[in-house]
Structure 1
Amino acid sequence: MSAHPTSAAGFGVYVHWPFCASKCPYCDFNSHVRQAPPDEARFLAAFEREIAYAAGLAPGRTVSSVFFGGGTPSLMKPQTVGAILDAIGGAWSVAPDAEVTLEANPTSVEATRFAGYRAAGVNRVSLGVQALNDPDLRALGRMHSAAEALAAVGVAEAHFERYSFDLIYARPGHTPDAWAAELRRAIGRAAEHLSLYQLTIEPDTWFEKLHRAGKLVIPTPDEARALWDVTQEVCEAAGLPAYEISNHARPGAESRHNLVYWRYGEYAGIGPGAHGRLVTNEGRIATATEKHPETWLERVERDGNGVIDTEVLGASEQGDEYLLMGLRLSEGVDPKTYEALSGRSLDARRIAALVEHGMIAQHPDGRLAVTNEGFPVLDAVVADLAA
């Protein structure tokens, strides 16, 4: 791994807990609602087996970050989280300053578990607040009130040195003034980090059905762009600039786990529907596990892992992924790293044209970064550079 062009980005472990108390109408994540609680002991044993399998593919790594995502990981018992961390520590070395994040719903019930998660080894939580007014929370299908969410933020602050929370903007009827006020209120409670996502209509969600039927109207592209501009202005003025297209942090408080993804480091994907990128003797591989929780569980119990797809990535695919991930960051990408991964140079004429049109900037050290004008059309910028 030391010879790989992005080895300095670190090694992360992503653990997917696929269960939720309810399915949000905008969500297209691999999350599932069950009438009866899942058998945590059985799932824990499967997580432990899949961790051991991943360690066999990528031995000798030092874990720089662990991320419990979902679904709703805060539905897990703290003891389960601790046992998973023990399994990770038994499979790899873990850096003394490793970041260990757990996503949590900001309900009062789940907040009572925060002390247990801290004792288990979690040192950062990410709270799915999503909105700071009750009508919008109900429209988003959230199970907490604004007051309950802010109380959970206070509990997180008492137990963790580092915490973050998410908000969704461009909601139906969302205006720039209302969003600016909500954002300033959020920044007053966010110590170091906010994730701010524009509402999008995803396929096969309840919101898509409502949108198609004309029962859900979201801001137009121009209106959404105005809300994005407000996001940048308010956060920068408060000292939380965007370090990634949807993430804002005080300098040094960025999510280290997500930086592993965006800087094209290595990560093991553990659990139903998890994806990984590992550097093996065969080359850099992409892994994907079975998405259905119970089917994944049966596969792990039978085969020792739930991986259903392993692909060796070619040079061109690695270069494309590096651009796709790295250009999300305000720090941008290094053309020399792209060349080392892909085996070819970026087209100087395309770079010059994108610079001329204000879509990207070229830093004195040669790095290429998308500008504020380019971020709203990021996919087109990436496609142009990669062509």
Structure 2
Amino acid sequence: MSGLYIHIPFCEKKCIYCSFYSIESFANKNRFLDALHREIAQSGEIPPVKEEREEVRTIFFGGGTPSMLSPDEMSAILDSLRAAHTVVGDAEITMECNPGALNRDWLEGYREGGINRLSFGVQSFHDDELQFLSRIHTAAEAEENIRLVRDVFDNVSLDMIFALPGQTPERWHYNLERAVDLGTDHISAYSLIFEEGTPLNAMRLKGKVNPAPNDLEADMYEETVQFLARHGLEQYETSNYAKAGYACRHNIGYWERKSYTGYGPSAHSFARRGVLGKRWANVSSLNAYLESIESGGSPVIMREELTSEQGMEEIVMLGLRYRGINLYDFKEAVGEELTSVAPERVEWLLKEGFAQLDEDSLRLTAKGSIFADRFALEIIEATERSRQLSSI
């Protein structure tokens, strides 16, 4: 087992673009904490977890807003995790937090309790952009909190969003400048996605907002890669940039398809077996999560054994966003070489300078990385067509 993920579902205010499960009510906090401790303690009875005896090297508290829990509450969760799993001494332990609601006492309490990395949901340094995104902090509060956090933590990441409706390249450049000037070690920069079911997408469907043009989004992406590289933050995944030694080990585990276990409502888990494995997921409802555990049951509502097709899709999708498609894993999942099942697509990517091919992997160039998801879908479709034809 490589990592643990703990989903804390509480938010002071849900952002219009967020598709992750969260609730604004804090009423069931104590019931949630009791249930979470019980779920962690009972996890050894889940067959995939019981079979996995690898050391835990990363822990990630996501949400929601984990920093709504006190340092003592977070420390108690970590104690439960250490009791149930073998957590290495130098494990990376990340907590997501939002600007505007942090103070030095709590920050020092988190650090003393075992948290050693903070992921800060800044998103923008423009107040009007923050208001559009329904963030509850101001740009000034974000800067003040980042300075405070860096006095306590030496591993801090900022989340930023670009390609907002009406956003200009100059305004995005300012956001990057502020992030760098504040001494940031790691930046996750995502283009704004209109996720189905979010208020943001409802606004789009009603014609109230329009996504940024594709060419403008591409220009902002290229500016991000180049600007951050000039300031010592190298791109190591499509949306992630870090100074040497500050890449997020937990997320690297996802991209490398290492095993992980999730706790809390909506949390997912994966136990790898060769290039395939098992997946399971908890119910995406706090009430249902509480009822299942309090009645002595399990919050897991989905279990599946990955098929070779699903394994291939993950190898392609995750690989192209990170260090490339592992050709050995691809062949093990599919039974054929990538260059045999999708020769035209691979040849085109190489010819146009979007990818490079060596004996171990097909990886995207800087020019091709912005199109990682599109190219992954094209390779997956080509592979599936080839397999269908070969079965006729």
Question: Same fold by TM-score, threshold 0.5 exceeded?
Answer: yes
Residues 104 and 110 in structure 1, CA contact (< 8 A), matched pair in contact too: no
Superposed, 1:209-248 pairs within 5 Å as: 209-248=202-241
| Cα drift, residue 351 of structure 1 | 2.6
Give the 3 Å change call, closer, same or farther, for CA 61–107 of structure 1 in structure 2.
same
Give distance in 2, aligned partners of 1:218 and 1:190: 31
Give the 3 Å change call, closer, same or farther, for CA 39–328 of structure 1 in structure 2.
same
AA aligned opposite 1:336:
Y
| Cα drift, residue 49 of structure 1 | 2.4
Give distance in 2, aligned partners of 1:44 and 1:152: 27
Give the 3 Å change call, closer, same or farther, for CA 280–110 of structure 1 in structure 2.
farther
AA aligned opposite 1:45:
D
Residues 355 and 362 in structure 2, CA contact (< 8 A), matched pair in contact too: yes
Partner of 1:45: 34
Partner of 2:3: 12
* Among candidates 335, 339, 343, match of residue 331 of structure 2: 339
Partner of 2:349: 354
User: Residue deviations 1:321-366, cap 9 Å, x none?
Assistant: 122112111x223211322344443134243332123222124x53
Partner of 2:379: 385
* Aligned: 1:163 with 2:152: no
AA aligned opposite 2:366:
N
Secondary structure, counterpart of 2:174 in structure 1: helix
| Cα drift, residue 367 of structure 1 | 2.1
CA RMSD across the alignment:
2.0
Partner of 1:58: 49
AA aligned opposite 1:370:
L
* Among candidates 61, 81, 98, match of residue 74 of structure 2: 81
Give distance in 2, aligned partners of 1:181 and 1:287: 42
Partner of 1:250: 243
Residues 16 and 270 in structure 1, CA contact (< 8 A), matched pair in contact too: yes
Give distance in 2, aligned partners of 1:130 and 1:14: 22
Residues 111 and 152 in structure 1, CA contact (< 8 A), matched pair in contact too: no
User: Residue deviations 1:26-68, cap 9 Å, x none?
Assistant: 111111111xx23433222221222234333324221010000
AA aligned opposite 2:350:
V
Residues 131 and 168 in structure 1, CA contact (< 8 A), matched pair in contact too: yes
* Aligned: 1:94 with 2:87: yes
Identity %: 34
Partner of 2:20: 29
| Cα drift, residue 110 of structure 1 | 6.0
Partner of 1:127: 120
Partner of 1:3: none
Give the 3 Å change call, closer, same or farther, for CA 279–345 of structure 1 in structure 2.
same
Partner of 2:131: 138
Residues 257 and 272 in structure 2, CA contact (< 8 A), matched pair in contact too: no
Secondary structure, counterpart of 1:179 in structure 2: helix
* Among candidates 249, 264, 270, match of residue 263 of structure 2: 270
> Structure 1: which 5+ residue stretches go unaligned?
1-9
User: Residue deviations 1:194-216, cap 9 Å, x none?
Assistant: 01111121222222222222222
| Cα drift, residue 128 of structure 1 | 0.4
AA aligned opposite 2:338:
L
* Among candidates 191, 212, 216, match of residue 184 of structure 2: 191
| Cα drift, residue 306 of structure 1 | 0.8
AA aligned opposite 2:357:
Q
| Cα drift, residue 280 of structure 1 | 7.0
Secondary structure, counterpart of 1:297 in structure 2: helix
| Cα drift, residue 111 of structure 1 | 6.2
Partner of 1:6: none
| Cα drift, residue 11 of structure 1 | 0.8
Partner of 2:109: 116
User: Residue deviations 1:75-121, cap 9 Å, x none?
Assistant: 01212211111111111111111000000011144665211111111
| Cα drift, residue 23 of structure 1 | 1.2
User: Residue deviations 1:285-305, cap 9 Å, x none?
Assistant: 111110011111111222343
Give the 3 Å change call, closer, same or farther, for CA 322–53 of structure 1 in structure 2.
farther
Residues 316 and 325 in structure 2, CA contact (< 8 A), matched pair in contact too: yes
Give distance in 1, aligned partners of 2:57 and 2:350: 35
Give the 3 Å change call, closer, same or farther, for CA 111–286 of structure 1 in structure 2.
farther
AA aligned opposite 1:119:
E
Give the 3 Å change call, closer, same or farther, for CA 110–339 of structure 1 in structure 2.
farther
Secondary structure, counterpart of 1:20 in structure 2: coil
